[in-house]
């Protein structure tokens, strides 16, 4: 039910469909090498489809090997991989290869990925130059297949690039792996590997908490290679800076003192008076607080050409600006030429200062204060709040007694998932009583994270994250909270559509409270909370249940009277939540002399128009009563047994509304019967989460020792005893019949079917008659029961073929396309659930049975005349 057409929504709420300048974690395009798994099969194709403006354009790249050469000239492009070991962009290119013009392509031409735009980001992917450097290295010098120019660039940041940020990225190659020609860039939690000058250029690059990996070259005299070759302009204060990083070896074959920290590169440049080594290229490389393995030996020299074309050597002492500060490990030293920064000099090497005020979204020094309100009706405080970043880093706190929380975070990578739960609650649980659990999704609305942000958690934010999660193939929002794989990435289209549904459904109520059409339920300011809470106090949220795998699933949002909210109708429109109408409904319920509460399963529950004409009998029971005399509050929920209805918290919601002299209609059975542990796939999940066992033929309780909750009678008695202790009248109803004969086949005469028997797989621990157990429970507790199974059997047999299909769910899928590929169409009828005619008929049968019960005579006076 969570994937809707958004065409109408987008038309109405186009103002919401412009993303923030840098919406990290939301993507506009999906690439996958697998057929039909993404919009595009190549990254280049996705980049070419980017809008012509400079709006944010994020591409989610699913796992795979992408054999492409990619050039990005557009600003604000973001590449989101599925993990650096899963998403790999690779191509075999070397400088000595020939281009279309027959000439060598050169170092810049050998790049796999080139960035020429500003505000580029990449995360969780590998960019690799697959040129076989080692195989070429061992070829004889006179081998015609041997390539002389072996530079092979993985990533090139062009002169026009600036503010490029990388997180969880691996750059792999041998010689000249990473080439920065200009602008500012930042790497965090990344990996760069190579041999000769594999990090080079005149750009300003900060490597933070990253691995710099020296690769093995067999049969080579020392030195084997050089980590850096900066060509920083002498007017530029910073060049290649490594902080809190690790200088490590690919493997133990790499000998000690075989790699230099760097050497000064003075690129041969054309000037008015000739072509020679650029004298202004006073390369700058600095290593700060970094671990160095024993392969490191210090700095080295590099040759260039003088004005006469003759070789000239540039030494670390006179051709560069090399320095270190508080490094450690077997390769760290202050002996020889290893210039060290003073404490005062080191203070200049802050991320903010080096990057001239630019704060990358992935910055490790990013400190943020997070505040927010947790608001849900009936939620007990203090509650536990956990914030999780895009890569699973998390921090937990508790709210105060008003649901307000505050967190101080550092180095967390957005977007954020924030979850709130009542204390001692397992939010994934279905087989023990689950407290209230909610979530929220936060993505920055601008290019960097503010020092103070607000993330509020409420039933609406929970539904929005649930929509995003389902669209991204999770069962629901709780699986996002519990996930171990990274990164977290969601569809921008689905985010906008979910926000649009919220505004279409709630704008009328929001504006009546003085809240604007741009109101964000997750990021609103604290001064707006009092107003917004006037809406959230009338909402329920809960997790659905995935029957096939036994886990909590997507979220559902309802008003206080269990009407589904934010579900588009058949025309794609989202019905409005009318706060004033809800207040009036509550007043009417408060003033009604008689109130009838219903708990049960899908045969009684309320359905949105999207699944019309499906309808539960509880949905129409109110039609039989004078509204001023009796109010029906239907809390029945699809897919629930008596045990799961209680454990999943539905009864907690409904019971909070009860008062003395109310009536509670209790009807379960269909889902309680799911006790066949041998059932393929779902059997063990059914037994763990849904099943209750009927009494035996002698009327005795059947359940595992010490686990009375697995008894159908004891499970029903949870509701019965609650009602009795609160002076509410409990009424048991047997479950309605399925249109099946004595052999369990669709057909006539319809016979009693709520009986389980042992099968050849011995799948049932206990078995028996559920109808009789309802009657046993009523007798044991001296309460009324209504035999709806017997009455609906009579109804079905009176109707016969083909008339029964106009009562139970058997519709023309051409008229109701929702059922095109679902049970409930004419050629595949649903023998359990009703359409409108059947729901009304069963509601009438309930009324007829009520009239027969002396204990319920007070209700008869409330019926329509």
Could you give the residue numbers annotated as active site?
Answer: 176, 197
From the CA atom positions of the chain, what is the Rg in Å?
Answer: 34
Place of tokens 């659930």: 833
C-alpha–C-alpha distance, residues 12 and 809, integer Å: 34
In order of 184, 286, 291, 709, 836, the CA distances from 354 in angstroms are 9, 12, 21, 64, 69
C-alpha–C-alpha distance, residues 157 and 62, integer Å: 24
C-alpha–C-alpha distance, residues 495 and 498, integer Å: 5
In order of 107, 231, 283, 303, the CA distances from 275 in angstroms are 18, 16, 19, 15
β-pair type (437-442, 416-422): antiparallel
491 with 59: CB under 8 angstroms? no
Residues 6+ apart with CB under 8 A from 431: 643, 644, 647, 688, 689
Six-digit token pair at 293? 């393995």
3-class state of residue 165 by DSSP: strand
SS (H, E, C) 501-524: HHHHHHHHHHHHCCCCCCCCCCCC
82 with 62: CB under 8 angstroms? yes
C-alpha–C-alpha distance, residues 444 and 419, integer Å: 18
Per DSSP (E only), the strands in 736-787 are 784-786
C-alpha–C-alpha distance, residues 455 and 607, integer Å: 32
Helix boundaries (H) for 567-659? 579-591, 617-620, 642-647, 650-655
β-pair type (594-600, 630-634): parallel
Six-digit token pair at 364? 């490790």
C-alpha–C-alpha distance, residues 42 and 64, integer Å: 10
Q: How far is CA 812 from the centre of its chain?
A: 36
3-class state of residue 661 by DSSP: coil
Give kind and range of the element (H or E) at residue 87.
strand 87-91
**570-607: b (≥16 Cβ within 10 Å) or e:** eebebbebbbeebeebbeebeebebbbbbbbbbbbbbb
Place of tokens 């000595």: 96
3-class state of residue 351 by DSSP: helix
Number of H helices, E strands in the chain: 21, 47
Six-digit token pair at 710? 């697995």
In order of 286, 588, 629, the CA distances from 865 in angstroms are 90, 20, 12
Q: What is the DSSP string of 167-184?
A: EEEEEE-SSS-EEE-SSE
C-alpha–C-alpha distance, residues 466 and 469, integer Å: 5
Backbone torsion region of residue 669, taken as left when φ is above 0, otherwise alpha when ψ lies between -120 and 50, otherwise beta:
left
Helix boundaries (H) for 347-491? 351-354, 459-471, 477-482
Place of tokens 């209230």: 436
**Helix 836-851 × helix 788-803 angle, to 10°:** 150
Cis before 382? omega within 30? yes
């Amino acid at each position: 039910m969570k994937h809707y057409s958004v065409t109408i929504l987008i038309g109405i709420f186009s103002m919401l469909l412009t993303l923030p300048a840098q919406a990290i974690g939301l993507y506009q395009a999906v690439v996958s090498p697998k057929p039909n798994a993404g919009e595009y099969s190549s990254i280049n194709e996705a980049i070419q489809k980017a809008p012509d403006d400079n709006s944010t354009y994020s591409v989610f790249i699913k796992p795979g090997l992408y054999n492409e050469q990619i050039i990005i000239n557009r600003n604000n492009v973001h590449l989101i991989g599925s993990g650096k070991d899963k998403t790999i962009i690779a191509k075999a290119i070397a400088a000595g290869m020939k281009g279309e013009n027959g000439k060598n392509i050169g170092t810049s031409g050998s790049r796999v990925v080139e960035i020429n735009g500003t505000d580029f980001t990449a995360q969780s992917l590998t960019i690799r130059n697959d040129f076989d450097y080692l195989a070429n290295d061992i070829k004889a010098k006179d081998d015609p297949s041997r390539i002389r120019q072996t530079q092979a660039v993985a990533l090139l940041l062009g002169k026009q690039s600036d503010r490029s940020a990388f997180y969880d990225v691996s750059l792999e190659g041998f010689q000249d792996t990473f080439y920065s020609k200009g602008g500012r860039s930042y790497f965090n939690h990344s990996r760069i590997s190579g041999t000769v000058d594999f990090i080079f250029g005149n750009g300003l690059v900060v490597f933070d908490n990253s691995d710099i990996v020296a690769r093995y070259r067999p049969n080579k005299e020392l030195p084997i290679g050089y980590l850096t070759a900066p060509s920083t302009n002498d007017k530029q204060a910073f060049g290649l800076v490594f902080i809190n990083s690790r200088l490590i070896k690919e493997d133990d074959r790499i000998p000690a003192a075989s790699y230099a920290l760097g050497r000064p590169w003075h690129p041969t440049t054309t000037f008015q008076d000739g072509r020679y080594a650029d004298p202004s290229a006073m390369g700058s490389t600095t290593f700060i607080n970094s671990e160095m393995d024993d392969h490191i030996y210090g700095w080295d020299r590099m040759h260039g050409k003088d004005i006469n074309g003759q070789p000239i050597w540039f030494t670390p002492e006179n051709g560069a600006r090399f320095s270190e500060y508080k490094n450690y490990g077997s390769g760290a030293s202050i002996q020889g030429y290893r210039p060290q920064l003073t404490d005062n000099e080191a203070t200049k090497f802050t991320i903010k200062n080096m990057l001239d005020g630019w704060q990358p979204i992935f910055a490790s020094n990013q400190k943020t204060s997070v505040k927010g309100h947790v608001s849900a009706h009936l939620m007990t405080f203090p509650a536990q709040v956990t914030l999780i970043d895009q890569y699973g880093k998390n921090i937990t706190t508790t709210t105060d007694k008003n649901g307000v929380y505050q967190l101080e975070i550092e180095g967390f990578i957005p977007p954020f998932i924030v979850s709130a739960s009542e204390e001692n609650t397992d939010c994934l649980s279905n087989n023990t009583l689950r407290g209230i659990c909610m979530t929220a999704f936060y993505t920055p609305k601008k290019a960097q994270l503010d020092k103070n942000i607000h993330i509020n958690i409420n039933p609406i934010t929970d539904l929005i994250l649930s929509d995003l999660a389902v669209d991204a193939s999770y069962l629901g929002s709780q699986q996002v909270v519990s996930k171990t794989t990274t990164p977290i990435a969601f569809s921008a289209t689905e985010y906008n559509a979910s926000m649009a549904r919220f505004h279409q459904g709630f704008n009328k109520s929001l504006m009546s409270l003085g809240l604007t059409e741009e109101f964000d339920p997750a990021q609103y300011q604290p001064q707006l909370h009092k107003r917004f809470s006037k809406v959230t106090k009338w909402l329920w949220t809960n997790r659905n249940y995935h029957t096939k795998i036994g886990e909590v699933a997507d979220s559902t949002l309802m008003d206080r009277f269990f009407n589904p909210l934010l579900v588009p109708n058949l025309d794609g429109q989202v019905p409005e939540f009318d706060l004033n109408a809800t207040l009036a409904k509550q007043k009417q319920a408060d003033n009604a002399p008689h109130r009838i509460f219903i708990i049960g399963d899908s045969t009684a529950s309320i359905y949105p128009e999207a699944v019309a004409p499906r309808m539960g009998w509880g949905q129409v029971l109110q039609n039989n009563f004078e509204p001023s005399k009796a109010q029906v509050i239907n809390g029945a929920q699809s897919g629930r047994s008596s045990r799961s209805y209680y454990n999943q918290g539905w009864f907690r919601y409904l019971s909070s509304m009860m008062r003395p002299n109310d009536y509670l209609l209790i009807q379960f059975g269909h889902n309680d019967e799911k006790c066949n542990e041998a059932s393929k796939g779902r059997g063990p999940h059914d037994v763990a989460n849904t099943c209750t066992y009927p009494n035996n033929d002698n009327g005795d309780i059947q359940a595992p020792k010490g686990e009375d909750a697995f008894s159908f009678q004891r499970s029903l008695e949870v509701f019965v005893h609650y009602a009795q202790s609160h002076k509410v009248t409990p009424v048991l109803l047997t479950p309605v019949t399925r249109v099946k004969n004595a052999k369990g086949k669709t057909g006539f005469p319809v016979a009693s079917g709520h009986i389980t028997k042992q099968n050849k797989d011995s799948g049932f621990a206990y078995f028996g008659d559920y109808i009789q157990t309802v009657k046993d429970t009523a007798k044991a507790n001296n309460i009324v029961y209504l035999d709806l199974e017997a009455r609906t059997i009579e109804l079905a047999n009176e109707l016969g073929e083909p008339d029964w299909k106009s009562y139970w769910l058997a519709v023309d899928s051409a008229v109701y396309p929702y059922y095109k590929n679902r049970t409930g169409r004419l050629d595949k009828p649903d023998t359990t659930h009703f359409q409108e005619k059947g729901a009304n008929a069963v509601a009438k049968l309930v009324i007829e049975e009520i009239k027969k019960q002396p204990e319920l005579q007070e209700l008869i006076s409330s019926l329509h005349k």
